[in-house]
Amino acid sequence: MTLICAGLIVAWITASTQRDIAKTNEMYWRKEAVTNKALYLVSIHQTDLVIDQITSQEMAMWDLYCSNRELFKVNIARKAMEDVTKTSK
């Protein structure tokens, strides 16, 4: 009977220790998952900001081009004429 009680006590202590270790591991990996998720969301937010910045720059360039389309055409033609005259000399 003493051996059975001793075996049960050892099994109980082992089970309790394993449960505590499992809970500690679970908390560690949960913390890691939360940290990784937070870093992932920050990364997505930063990427969205960069995309918005690039899009706004492209839209500004497009608006500038549309508002000065004739001026751009004249400048391109003038530059092409200058290149032609430089190469023909």
Q: State residue 27's pLDDT score.
A: 92
The whole-number average pLDDT for the span 14-35 is 90
Residue 47: pLDDT above 70? yes
Domain, as residue range, for 11: 2-88
pLDDT, averaged across the chain: 86
Write a three-state SS string for the chain: CHHHHHHHHHHHHHHHHHHHHHHHHHHHHHHHHHHHHHHHHHHHHHHHHHHHHHHHHHHHHHHHHHHCHHHHHHHHHHHHHHHHHHHHC
* Number of domain units in the chain: 1
Predicted model pTM: 0.46
Residue 89: pLDDT above 70? no
List CB contacts of 72: < 8 A, sequence separation 6 or more.
Answer: 65
Q: State residue 32's pLDDT score.
A: 92
